């Protein structure tokens, strides 16, 4: 439904949609019309499909909150685009030189998104209008961009420097009961409470794909419909960046459980040397020849079992051990030059009838004879 809400904000010249909520139509005594669908190509909401007056699907009317004075345009979703500020009833691009991380934090908050992720000039084009003529001096805690102090800009803004901003998606979707932030029943924080998310059977894969994408959890491994309950029924095309961009309704539906590919947390890798043969060199840890050392792989207590593979780039050699108390220790009795190279821990586990894997960061070890 956020696509239709975006049209409302745009038609009122009020920036980006920040949130939408619903009120009971019958109790409030209001009539209304049903907004059926918008394709995204319309220039006005009047071109969208509109049902007859006096009836609204589900008995609800919409409250829409728009960002009013700032918006992100020409981006991939609601939380990315070129930063534009409303000035004298027209929209102006902001110059990269007049914009910093603290300003970005306020803009992301103002448009209802999460923390800023990417800040780069020229990322989403230049726009066709004017350039904002002031420099923002936000402290980062303000709720609205226009709450920030400003100063007059001294220099002109060269082409290719209109600031583009990508914010993270809002933290309003979660997976619960699966032992991982990337597995479980889908819930959406809506109107002050967490509500169960469900979908029609033929839409469950599309909804699951959006959930995994929004959470940064990779791709969908499986999706399952459970008990019928009251909550939010969501319908997505599968290409949206967040559930906010999908259509939704409030009715009875089967709850949706999703398992994403990045189920396992990243394991840790570290080195111990009981004989004191390791010292910190310019390029990282260095080990004296002849000393024994141990490389330990560990992971957070997420699921029981599993195994660790220690890979070594100096050869095709891989060592494997079962995970005991979520860790495994690989002993090297006497260091020599053949042990120099890059090591990585790979944690494998069979969970929810699927094999999952997660890799640690690369660990570089140098062997020295001095």
**Dihedral of CA 197/201/206/209: which sign?**
positive
304 contact partners, CB below 8 Å, separation of at least 6? none
> What pLDDT is attached to residue 191?
75
Report how far residue 81's alpha carbon sits from residue 120's, in angstroms, rounded to the nearest whole number. Answer: 10
Tokens of 179: 């032992």
Query: Is the pLDDT confidence value at 136 over 90?
Result: no
Report how far residue 302's alpha carbon sits from residue 178's, in angstroms, rounded to the nearest whole number. Answer: 10
> What pLDDT is attached to residue 42?
59
Report how far residue 217's alpha carbon sits from residue 223's, in angstroms, rounded to the nearest whole number. Answer: 14
Report how far residue 355's alpha carbon sits from residue 365's, in angstroms, rounded to the nearest whole number. Answer: 30
Tokens of 351: 């969970």
Instruction: Compute the mean pLDDT over every residue in the chain, rounded to the nearest whole number.
Output: 83
Tokens of 3: 């696509």
> What pLDDT is attached to residue 161?
81
Report how far residue 1's alpha carbon sits from residue 6's, in angstroms, rounded to the nearest whole number. Answer: 9
Kindly report whether the global pTM for this prediction surpasses the value 0.75: no
In order, the DSSP letters of 137-152 are E--S--SSGGGSEEEE
Longest CA span, the chain: 87
pLDDT band at 132 (very low <50, low <70, confident <90, very high): confident
- Between the CA of residue 296 and those of 163, 198, 268, 310, 363, what are the distances in Å? 45, 42, 8, 9, 11
> 158 vs 163, which has greater pLDDT?
163
Model confidence pLDDT, tens digit, residues 3-51: 666 767 777 777 777 766 665 544 444 455 555 456 555 556 555 655 5
Q: Please check whether residue 343 is in contact with residue 335, taking contact to mean a CB–CB distance below 8 angstroms.
A: no
43 contact partners, CB below 8 Å, separation of at least 6? none
> What pLDDT is attached to residue 291?
87
Q: What is the enclosing helix (H) or strand (E) of 7?
A: helix 2-11
Q: Please check whether residue 319 is in contact with residue 331, taking contact to mean a CB–CB distance below 8 angstroms.
A: no
> 31 vs 206, which has greater pLDDT?
206
> What pLDDT is attached to residue 105?
92
> What pLDDT is attached to residue 265?
95
Query: Is the pLDDT confidence value at 190 over 90?
Result: no
């Amino acid at each position: 439904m956020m696509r239709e809400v975006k049209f409302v904000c745009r038609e009122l010249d009020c920036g980006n949609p920040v949130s939408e909520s619903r009120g009971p139509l019958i109790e409030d005594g209001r009539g209304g019309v049903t907004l059926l669908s918008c394709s995204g190509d319309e220039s006005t909401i009047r071109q969208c499909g509109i049902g007859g007056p006096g009836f609204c699907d589900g008995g609800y009317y919409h409250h829409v909150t728009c960002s009013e004075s700032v918006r992100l345009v020409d981006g991939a979703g609601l939380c990315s685009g070129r930063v534009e500020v409303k000035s004298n009833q027209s929209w102006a691009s902001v110059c990269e030189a007049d914009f910093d991380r603290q300003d970005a934090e306020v803009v992301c908050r103002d448009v209802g998104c999460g923390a800023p992720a990417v800040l780069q000039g020229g990322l989403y084009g230049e726009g066709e209008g004017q350039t904002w003529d002031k420099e923002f001096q936000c402290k980062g805690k303000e709720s609205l961009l226009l709450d920030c102090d400003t100063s007059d800009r001294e220099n002109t803004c060269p082409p290719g420097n209109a600031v583009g901003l990508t914010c993270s998606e809002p933290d309003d979707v979660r997976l619960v009961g699966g032992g991982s932030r990337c597995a479980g029943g889908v819930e959406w924080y809506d109107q002050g409470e967490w509500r169960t998310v469900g979908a029609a059977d033929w839409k469950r894969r599309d909804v699951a794909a959006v959930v995994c994408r929004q959470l940064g959890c990779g791709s969908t491994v499986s999706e399952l419909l459970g008990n019928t309950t009251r909550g939010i029924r969501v319908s997505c095309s599968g290409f949206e960046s967040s559930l906010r961009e999908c259509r939704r309704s409030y009715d009875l539906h089967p709850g949706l459980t999703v398992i994403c590919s990045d189920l396992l947390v990243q394991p840790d890798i570290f080195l111990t040397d009981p004989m004191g043969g390791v010292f910190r060199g310019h390029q990282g840890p260095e080990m004296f020849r002849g000393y024994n050392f141990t490389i330990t792989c560990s992971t957070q207590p997420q699921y029981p079992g599993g195994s660790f593979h220690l890979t070594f780039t100096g050869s095709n050699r891989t060592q494997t051990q079962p995970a005991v108390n979520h860790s495994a220790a690989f002993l090297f009795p006497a260091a020599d030059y053949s042990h120099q190279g890059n090591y990585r821990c790979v944690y494998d586990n069979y969970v929810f009838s699927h094999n999952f894997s997660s890799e640690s960061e690369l660990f570089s070890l140098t062997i020295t004879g001095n």
